[in-house]
Protein backbone atom coordinates (compact mmCIF):
# COMPACT_ATOMS: atom_id res chain seq x y z
CA UNK A 1 0.00 0.00 0.00
CA UNK A 2 1.10 3.56 -0.57
CA UNK A 3 2.76 4.96 2.54
CA UNK A 4 3.36 8.52 1.30
CA UNK A 5 0.29 10.72 1.31
CA UNK A 6 -0.04 13.39 -1.38
CA UNK A 7 -3.46 14.76 -0.48
CA UNK A 8 -2.08 17.73 1.50
CA UNK A 9 -0.57 19.12 -1.70
CA UNK A 10 -4.05 19.38 -3.21
CA UNK A 11 -4.97 22.02 -0.62
CA UNK A 12 -2.99 24.38 -2.86
CA UNK A 13 -5.39 23.85 -5.77
CA UNK A 14 -6.88 27.24 -6.58
CA UNK A 15 -9.09 28.58 -9.37
CA UNK A 16 -8.81 32.39 -9.64
CA UNK A 17 -11.06 34.62 -11.69
CA UNK A 18 -8.65 34.44 -14.61
CA UNK A 19 -9.08 30.66 -14.82
CA UNK A 20 -12.87 30.70 -15.21
CA UNK A 21 -14.75 30.43 -18.50
CA UNK A 22 -18.30 31.75 -18.37
CA UNK A 23 -20.56 30.36 -21.05
CA UNK A 24 -22.90 32.71 -22.90
CA UNK A 25 -25.93 31.59 -24.89
CA UNK A 26 -25.91 32.90 -28.46
CA UNK A 27 -28.90 33.89 -30.54
CA UNK A 28 -28.77 30.75 -32.70
CA UNK A 29 -28.92 28.38 -29.74
CA UNK A 30 -32.31 26.98 -28.81
CA UNK A 31 -30.99 25.82 -25.45
CA UNK A 32 -29.10 27.53 -22.66
CA UNK A 33 -25.37 27.72 -22.05
CA UNK A 34 -24.62 25.09 -19.44
CA UNK A 35 -21.37 23.10 -19.78
CA UNK A 36 -22.07 19.38 -20.08
CA UNK A 37 -18.66 17.74 -20.55
CA UNK A 38 -14.97 18.64 -20.69
CA UNK A 39 -12.05 16.41 -21.71
CA UNK A 40 -8.30 16.93 -21.99
CA UNK A 41 -6.48 15.73 -25.08
CA UNK A 42 -3.98 12.90 -24.69
CA UNK A 43 -1.00 15.17 -25.39
CA UNK A 44 0.87 16.91 -22.58
CA UNK A 45 2.88 20.12 -22.44
CA UNK A 46 2.51 22.79 -25.12
CA UNK A 47 0.36 20.49 -27.30
CA UNK A 48 -2.23 19.87 -24.59
CA UNK A 49 -5.78 21.03 -25.29
CA UNK A 50 -9.02 21.02 -23.32
CA UNK A 51 -12.36 20.48 -25.08
CA UNK A 52 -15.66 21.76 -23.68
CA UNK A 53 -19.14 20.95 -25.01
CA UNK A 54 -22.34 22.58 -23.85
CA UNK A 55 -26.09 22.67 -23.82
CA UNK A 56 -26.20 25.02 -26.80
CA UNK A 57 -24.41 22.61 -29.13
CA UNK A 58 -21.09 24.49 -29.10
CA UNK A 59 -17.61 22.96 -29.04
CA UNK A 60 -14.85 25.07 -27.47
CA UNK A 61 -11.11 24.30 -27.40
CA UNK A 62 -8.78 25.79 -24.76
CA UNK A 63 -5.04 25.93 -24.24
CA UNK A 64 -4.97 25.11 -20.50
CA UNK A 65 -1.19 25.08 -20.07
CA UNK A 66 -0.18 28.20 -21.99
CA UNK A 67 -3.27 30.26 -21.22
CA UNK A 68 -2.71 33.65 -19.57
CA UNK A 69 -1.96 33.09 -15.88
CA UNK A 70 -2.13 36.78 -14.94
CA UNK A 71 -4.47 36.44 -11.96
CA UNK A 72 -5.03 40.19 -11.87
CA UNK A 73 -7.06 39.92 -15.05
CA UNK A 74 -10.85 39.75 -14.81
CA UNK A 75 -11.64 38.52 -18.32
CA UNK A 76 -11.36 34.86 -17.52
CA UNK A 77 -10.33 32.12 -19.96
CA UNK A 78 -11.07 32.37 -23.67
CA UNK A 79 -11.14 29.50 -26.20
CA UNK A 80 -8.56 29.29 -28.96
CA UNK A 81 -11.27 27.78 -31.20
CA UNK A 82 -15.04 27.57 -31.02
CA UNK A 83 -17.68 26.29 -33.42
CA UNK A 84 -21.24 24.96 -33.52
CA UNK A 85 -21.12 21.19 -33.48
CA UNK A 86 -24.79 20.30 -33.16
CA UNK A 87 -28.16 22.03 -33.17
CA UNK A 88 -28.93 20.49 -29.79
CA UNK A 89 -27.15 19.75 -26.51
CA UNK A 90 -23.80 17.93 -26.64
CA UNK A 91 -23.47 15.48 -23.75
CA UNK A 92 -20.03 13.97 -24.30
CA UNK A 93 -16.78 14.46 -26.19
CA UNK A 94 -13.83 12.07 -26.68
CA UNK A 95 -10.44 12.73 -28.25
CA UNK A 96 -9.00 10.22 -30.70
CA UNK A 97 -5.69 8.66 -29.63
CA UNK A 98 -3.61 10.95 -31.88
CA UNK A 99 -5.58 14.10 -30.86
CA UNK A 100 -6.23 15.10 -34.48
CA UNK A 101 -9.93 14.22 -34.28
CA UNK A 102 -12.69 14.03 -31.70
CA UNK A 103 -16.16 12.55 -31.57
CA UNK A 104 -19.17 14.25 -29.93
CA UNK A 105 -22.47 12.82 -28.65
CA UNK A 106 -25.65 14.87 -28.85
CA UNK A 107 -29.33 15.12 -28.02
CA UNK A 108 -29.93 15.33 -31.79
CA UNK A 109 -29.53 11.51 -31.70
CA UNK A 110 -26.21 11.50 -33.59
CA UNK A 111 -22.49 11.34 -32.99
CA UNK A 112 -20.19 13.50 -35.11
CA UNK A 113 -16.52 13.21 -35.99
CA UNK A 114 -14.43 16.40 -36.21
CA UNK A 115 -11.08 17.48 -37.56
CA UNK A 116 -9.96 19.53 -34.55
CA UNK A 117 -7.37 21.68 -36.31
CA UNK A 118 -9.76 22.78 -39.07
CA UNK A 119 -12.97 22.50 -37.01
CA UNK A 120 -14.31 20.49 -39.93
CA UNK A 121 -17.08 17.89 -39.84
CA UNK A 122 -15.80 14.54 -41.13
CA UNK A 123 -18.72 12.22 -40.46
CA UNK A 124 -22.18 11.77 -38.96
CA UNK A 125 -23.14 8.58 -37.11
CA UNK A 126 -26.90 7.95 -37.16
CA UNK A 127 -28.87 5.09 -35.69
CA UNK A 128 -29.91 6.02 -32.18
CA UNK A 129 -33.52 7.08 -31.62
CA UNK A 130 -32.91 9.22 -28.54
CA UNK A 131 -30.18 11.38 -26.96
CA UNK A 132 -26.66 9.95 -27.20
CA UNK A 133 -25.22 10.21 -23.69
CA UNK A 134 -21.74 8.73 -23.89
CA UNK A 135 -18.96 7.83 -26.34
CA UNK A 136 -15.72 5.91 -25.86
CA UNK A 137 -12.86 5.19 -28.26
CA UNK A 138 -11.40 1.72 -28.31
CA UNK A 139 -8.04 1.92 -26.52
CA UNK A 140 -5.25 3.17 -28.84
CA UNK A 141 -7.54 2.59 -31.85
CA UNK A 142 -7.90 5.33 -34.49
CA UNK A 143 -10.93 3.76 -36.15
CA UNK A 144 -13.35 2.22 -33.65
CA UNK A 145 -15.54 3.71 -30.91
CA UNK A 146 -18.84 2.97 -29.18
CA UNK A 147 -21.82 5.12 -28.24
CA UNK A 148 -24.58 4.79 -25.65
CA UNK A 149 -28.03 6.33 -25.69
CA UNK A 150 -31.18 7.01 -23.74
CA UNK A 151 -32.89 4.63 -26.17
CA UNK A 152 -31.24 1.81 -24.21
CA UNK A 153 -28.83 0.75 -26.93
CA UNK A 154 -25.06 0.59 -27.36
CA UNK A 155 -23.71 0.95 -30.90
CA UNK A 156 -20.25 0.14 -32.25
CA UNK A 157 -18.76 2.12 -35.13
CA UNK A 158 -15.79 1.55 -37.46
CA UNK A 159 -14.61 4.49 -39.57
CA UNK A 160 -13.39 2.12 -42.29
CA UNK A 161 -16.73 0.47 -43.12
CA UNK A 162 -20.53 1.02 -43.34
CA UNK A 163 -20.15 4.53 -44.73
CA UNK A 164 -21.63 6.62 -47.50
CA UNK A 165 -19.93 9.77 -48.79
CA UNK A 166 -21.83 12.99 -49.44
CA UNK A 167 -19.52 15.84 -50.40
CA UNK A 168 -16.68 16.04 -47.88
CA UNK A 169 -18.61 14.16 -45.20
CA UNK A 170 -19.42 10.55 -44.51
CA UNK A 171 -22.61 9.08 -43.09
CA UNK A 172 -22.01 5.97 -41.00
CA UNK A 173 -24.09 2.98 -39.95
CA UNK A 174 -23.18 0.94 -36.84
CA UNK A 175 -21.27 -2.31 -37.24
CA UNK A 176 -22.93 -3.79 -34.15
CA UNK A 177 -25.92 -2.91 -31.99
CA UNK A 178 -26.77 -4.05 -28.47
CA UNK A 179 -30.41 -3.28 -27.75
CA UNK A 180 -31.97 -2.97 -24.29
CA UNK A 181 -28.52 -3.06 -22.73
CA UNK A 182 -29.89 -1.90 -19.38
CA UNK A 183 -33.47 -2.51 -18.37
CA UNK A 184 -35.75 -2.46 -15.35
CA UNK A 185 -39.24 -3.38 -14.18
CA UNK A 186 -42.22 -1.08 -14.58
CA UNK A 187 -45.22 -2.03 -12.48
CA UNK A 188 -48.53 -1.78 -14.33
CA UNK A 189 -51.49 -0.53 -12.30
CA UNK A 190 -51.80 -2.48 -9.09
CA UNK A 191 -49.55 -5.27 -10.23
CA UNK A 192 -47.60 -7.04 -7.55
CA UNK A 193 -43.99 -5.90 -7.17
CA UNK A 194 -41.81 -7.82 -9.59
CA UNK A 195 -44.77 -8.65 -11.85
CA UNK A 196 -44.51 -5.62 -14.13
CA UNK A 197 -43.11 -5.44 -17.65
CA UNK A 198 -39.45 -5.08 -18.55
CA UNK A 199 -38.58 -1.69 -20.04
CA UNK A 200 -35.34 -0.42 -21.53
CA UNK A 201 -33.58 2.25 -19.53
CA UNK A 202 -31.01 4.82 -20.56
CA UNK A 203 -27.40 3.70 -20.97
CA UNK A 204 -25.73 6.52 -19.08
CA UNK A 205 -22.05 5.71 -19.65
CA UNK A 206 -19.74 3.32 -21.49
CA UNK A 207 -16.01 2.68 -21.36
CA UNK A 208 -13.74 0.53 -23.52
CA UNK A 209 -11.42 -1.53 -21.33
CA UNK A 210 -7.64 -1.60 -21.66
CA UNK A 211 -6.71 -5.17 -20.75
CA UNK A 212 -9.05 -6.58 -23.40
CA UNK A 213 -9.88 -4.19 -26.24
CA UNK A 214 -12.81 -6.38 -27.27
CA UNK A 215 -14.66 -5.56 -24.04
CA UNK A 216 -16.75 -2.48 -23.30
CA UNK A 217 -18.31 -1.76 -19.89
CA UNK A 218 -21.63 0.02 -19.49
CA UNK A 219 -23.93 1.36 -16.78
CA UNK A 220 -27.52 2.54 -16.90
CA UNK A 221 -30.32 4.47 -15.26
CA UNK A 222 -32.26 1.46 -13.99
CA UNK A 223 -29.77 -0.19 -11.64
CA UNK A 224 -26.30 -0.10 -10.09
CA UNK A 225 -25.08 -3.04 -12.17
CA UNK A 226 -22.01 -2.72 -14.41
CA UNK A 227 -22.13 -4.91 -17.52
CA UNK A 228 -19.33 -6.19 -19.75
CA UNK A 229 -19.97 -6.70 -23.47
CA UNK A 230 -17.86 -8.43 -26.10
CA UNK A 231 -17.99 -6.14 -29.14
CA UNK A 232 -17.08 -9.00 -31.49
CA UNK A 233 -20.50 -10.55 -30.96
CA UNK A 234 -23.00 -9.86 -33.71
CA UNK A 235 -26.00 -10.69 -31.55
CA UNK A 236 -27.11 -8.56 -28.57
CA UNK A 237 -26.01 -11.15 -26.01
CA UNK A 238 -24.85 -10.13 -22.57
CA UNK A 239 -21.30 -11.30 -21.94
CA UNK A 240 -20.53 -10.68 -18.29
CA UNK A 241 -22.04 -8.73 -15.43
CA UNK A 242 -20.43 -7.05 -12.44
CA UNK A 243 -23.13 -7.48 -9.78
CA UNK A 244 -23.53 -4.78 -7.15
CA UNK A 245 -24.82 -5.29 -3.59
CA UNK A 246 -28.46 -6.25 -3.01
CA UNK A 247 -29.67 -2.84 -4.22
CA UNK A 248 -28.46 -3.71 -7.70
CA UNK A 249 -31.28 -6.15 -8.32
CA UNK A 250 -33.38 -5.38 -11.38
CA UNK A 251 -36.36 -5.65 -9.06
CA UNK A 252 -37.49 -2.41 -7.41
CA UNK A 253 -35.71 -1.58 -4.16
CA UNK A 254 -37.50 -0.95 -0.87
CA UNK A 255 -38.18 2.61 -2.07
CA UNK A 256 -39.91 1.27 -5.16
CA UNK A 257 -37.14 2.04 -7.65
CA UNK A 258 -33.55 1.26 -8.55
CA UNK A 259 -31.19 4.17 -8.11
CA UNK A 260 -29.16 3.88 -11.27
CA UNK A 261 -25.59 4.86 -12.15
CA UNK A 262 -24.35 8.21 -13.39
CA UNK A 263 -20.84 7.61 -14.75
CA UNK A 264 -18.06 5.12 -15.35
CA UNK A 265 -14.30 5.76 -15.14
CA UNK A 266 -11.27 3.57 -15.77
CA UNK A 267 -7.97 4.28 -14.03
CA UNK A 268 -4.79 4.91 -16.10
CA UNK A 269 -3.43 1.35 -15.88
CA UNK A 270 -6.83 -0.20 -16.65
CA UNK A 271 -7.12 -2.29 -13.49
CA UNK A 272 -9.76 -0.34 -11.54
CA UNK A 273 -13.22 0.68 -12.71
CA UNK A 274 -15.22 3.32 -10.78
CA UNK A 275 -19.00 3.67 -11.03
CA UNK A 276 -20.76 6.67 -9.46
CA UNK A 277 -24.23 5.67 -8.30
CA UNK A 278 -27.29 7.59 -7.22
CA UNK A 279 -26.98 6.18 -3.69
CA UNK A 280 -24.22 8.78 -3.10
CA UNK A 281 -21.41 6.25 -3.44
CA UNK A 282 -18.65 5.53 -5.92
CA UNK A 283 -18.05 1.79 -6.23
CA UNK A 284 -14.58 0.40 -6.94
CA UNK A 285 -14.34 -2.68 -9.20
CA UNK A 286 -11.47 -4.90 -10.19
CA UNK A 287 -11.67 -4.35 -13.97
CA UNK A 288 -9.73 -7.56 -14.63
CA UNK A 289 -11.96 -9.82 -12.55
CA UNK A 290 -15.74 -9.23 -12.73
CA UNK A 291 -17.47 -9.65 -9.40
CA UNK A 292 -18.77 -7.68 -6.46
CA UNK A 293 -17.17 -4.28 -5.79
CA UNK A 294 -13.92 -4.40 -3.86
CA UNK A 295 -14.57 -1.06 -2.13
CA UNK A 296 -16.77 2.01 -2.06
CA UNK A 297 -16.04 5.72 -1.68
CA UNK A 298 -18.34 8.20 0.00
CA UNK A 299 -18.15 11.54 1.77
CA UNK A 300 -20.58 14.01 3.40
CA UNK A 301 -19.84 16.46 0.58
CA UNK A 302 -20.59 13.94 -2.20
CA UNK A 303 -24.17 13.96 -3.51
CA UNK A 304 -24.94 11.97 -6.64
CA UNK A 305 -28.63 12.62 -7.31
CA UNK A 306 -28.63 13.02 -11.09
CA UNK A 307 -27.18 11.31 -14.15
CA UNK A 308 -24.83 14.22 -14.85
CA UNK A 309 -22.28 13.54 -12.09
CA UNK A 310 -18.92 12.49 -13.57
CA UNK A 311 -15.69 11.11 -12.11
CA UNK A 312 -12.06 11.18 -13.23
CA UNK A 313 -8.88 9.44 -12.02
CA UNK A 314 -5.64 11.42 -11.89
CA UNK A 315 -2.88 10.28 -14.30
CA UNK A 316 -0.79 9.03 -11.37
CA UNK A 317 -3.72 6.92 -10.19
CA UNK A 318 -3.52 8.36 -6.65
CA UNK A 319 -6.71 10.45 -6.71
CA UNK A 320 -10.32 10.16 -7.86
CA UNK A 321 -12.30 13.36 -8.42
CA UNK A 322 -16.09 13.48 -8.56
CA UNK A 323 -18.58 16.25 -9.08
CA UNK A 324 -21.49 16.69 -6.69
CA UNK A 325 -25.07 17.96 -6.78
CA UNK A 326 -24.25 20.52 -4.06
CA UNK A 327 -21.55 22.21 -6.14
CA UNK A 328 -18.57 20.60 -4.40
CA UNK A 329 -15.89 18.56 -6.14
CA UNK A 330 -14.59 15.74 -3.94
CA UNK A 331 -11.12 14.24 -4.48
CA UNK A 332 -10.42 10.99 -2.64
CA UNK A 333 -6.88 9.77 -1.93
CA UNK A 334 -6.46 6.23 -3.31
CA UNK A 335 -4.11 3.47 -2.27
CA UNK A 336 -2.60 0.94 -4.66
CA UNK A 337 -5.85 -1.05 -4.63
CA UNK A 338 -7.95 1.95 -5.66
CA UNK A 339 -9.41 2.29 -2.17
CA UNK A 340 -9.46 5.22 0.24
CA UNK A 341 -7.78 3.43 3.14
CA UNK A 342 -6.44 6.69 4.60
CA UNK A 343 -9.99 8.17 4.78
CA UNK A 344 -8.60 11.48 3.50
CA UNK A 345 -10.11 13.68 0.81
CA UNK A 346 -9.84 17.17 -0.63
CA UNK A 347 -12.97 19.25 -1.29
CA UNK A 348 -12.93 21.92 -3.98
CA UNK A 349 -15.43 24.75 -3.49
CA UNK A 350 -16.01 27.05 -6.43
CA UNK A 351 -19.28 26.21 -8.16
CA UNK A 352 -22.53 27.50 -6.67
CA UNK A 353 -24.72 24.90 -8.41
CA UNK A 354 -24.29 21.22 -9.31
CA UNK A 355 -20.77 20.33 -10.38
CA UNK A 356 -21.07 17.73 -13.12
CA UNK A 357 -18.06 17.02 -15.27
CA UNK A 358 -14.50 16.78 -13.93
CA UNK A 359 -11.28 16.05 -15.85
CA UNK A 360 -7.61 15.70 -14.92
CA UNK A 361 -4.75 17.04 -17.00
CA UNK A 362 -3.10 13.86 -18.42
CA UNK A 363 0.55 14.53 -17.49
CA UNK A 364 2.03 13.50 -14.14
CA UNK A 365 4.47 16.44 -14.18
CA UNK A 366 1.62 18.94 -13.71
CA UNK A 367 -1.38 18.80 -11.38
CA UNK A 368 -4.35 20.47 -13.02
CA UNK A 369 -8.09 19.81 -12.85
CA UNK A 370 -10.99 21.14 -14.92
CA UNK A 371 -14.53 21.22 -13.50
CA UNK A 372 -17.91 22.24 -14.94
CA UNK A 373 -20.99 23.46 -13.09
CA UNK A 374 -24.64 24.29 -13.63
CA UNK A 375 -23.70 27.85 -12.67
CA UNK A 376 -22.63 28.17 -16.30
CA UNK A 377 -18.89 28.05 -15.70
CA UNK A 378 -15.88 25.88 -16.36
CA UNK A 379 -13.05 26.27 -13.85
CA UNK A 380 -9.42 25.26 -14.25
CA UNK A 381 -7.62 24.48 -10.98
CA UNK A 382 -3.83 24.70 -10.61
CA UNK A 383 -1.40 24.09 -7.75
CA UNK A 384 -0.24 27.47 -6.42
CA UNK A 385 0.35 27.45 -2.67
CA UNK A 386 1.37 31.09 -2.40
CA UNK A 387 -1.62 32.34 -4.36
CA UNK A 388 -4.06 30.14 -2.45
CA UNK A 389 -2.74 31.10 0.99
CA UNK A 390 -2.57 34.84 0.39
CA UNK A 391 -6.03 35.00 -1.17
CA UNK A 392 -8.15 33.06 1.33
CA UNK A 393 -8.44 36.04 3.65
CA UNK A 394 -9.63 38.39 0.89
CA UNK A 395 -13.47 38.53 1.08
CA UNK A 396 -13.80 39.65 -2.54
CA UNK A 397 -11.67 36.81 -3.84
CA UNK A 398 -13.41 34.26 -1.64
CA UNK A 399 -16.69 35.17 -3.34
CA UNK A 400 -15.41 34.52 -6.86
CA UNK A 401 -12.35 32.29 -6.62
CA UNK A 402 -12.27 28.56 -6.00
CA UNK A 403 -10.44 27.16 -2.97
CA UNK A 404 -9.66 23.72 -1.58
CA UNK A 405 -9.71 22.18 1.90
CA UNK A 406 -8.39 18.80 3.04
CA UNK A 407 -10.39 16.60 5.42
CA UNK A 408 -8.66 13.92 7.44
CA UNK A 409 -11.55 11.61 8.29
CA UNK A 410 -14.97 10.76 6.86
| CATH code of 379's domain | 2.130.10.10
- Residue 211 domain-assigned (yes or no): yes
- Residue 202 domain-assigned (yes or no): yes
Segment 168-221, tens digit of pLDDT: 899 999 999 999 898 765 544 544 544 556 667 899 999 999 999 999 999 999
Average pLDDT over residues 84-110: 97
Buried b (16+ CB within 10 A) or exposed e, 213-246: eebbbbbbbbbbbbbbbebeeeeeeebeebbbee
Q: For the ranges 67-71, 240-244, 255-259, 334-338, which has the lowest average pLDDT?
A: 240-244
Query: What pLDDT does residue 70 have?
Result: 58
- Residue 38 domain-assigned (yes or no): yes
- Residue 152 domain-assigned (yes or no): yes
Query: What pLDDT does residue 1 have?
Result: 47
Residues listed for the chain: 410
Average pLDDT over residues 74-90: 92
Query: What pLDDT does residue 31 have?
Result: 57
Q: How many domains does the chain have?
A: 1
Q: Which helix (H) or strand (E) holds 26?
A: none
pTM given for the model: 0.90
Of the pLDDT bands very low, low, confident and very high (cuts 50, 70, 90), residue 248 is very low
- Residue 53 domain-assigned (yes or no): yes
- Residue 1 domain-assigned (yes or no): no
Say yes or no to pLDDT of 253 above 60.
Answer: no
Query: What pLDDT does residue 202 have?
Result: 94
Of the pLDDT bands very low, low, confident and very high (cuts 50, 70, 90), residue 23 is very high
Buried b (16+ CB within 10 A) or exposed e, 281-319: bbbbbbbeebeebebbbbbebbbbeebbbbbbbbbebbb
- Residue 2 domain-assigned (yes or no): no
- Residue 181 domain-assigned (yes or no): yes
Note down the domain range covering 200. 7-407
Amino acid sequence: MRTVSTIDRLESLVSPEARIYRLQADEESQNGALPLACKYSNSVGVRSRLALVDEGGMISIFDPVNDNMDVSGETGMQPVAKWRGHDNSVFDVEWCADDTRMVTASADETCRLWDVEQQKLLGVFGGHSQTVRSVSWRHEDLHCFSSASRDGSIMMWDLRVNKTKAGDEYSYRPVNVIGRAHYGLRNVGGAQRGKGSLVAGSVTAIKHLRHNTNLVASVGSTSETVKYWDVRMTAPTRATELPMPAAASLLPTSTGRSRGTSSLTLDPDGTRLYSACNDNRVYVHNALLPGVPIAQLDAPEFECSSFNIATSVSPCGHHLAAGSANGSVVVWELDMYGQNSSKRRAVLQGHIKEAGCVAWYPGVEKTQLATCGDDGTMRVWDINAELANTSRADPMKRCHWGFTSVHQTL
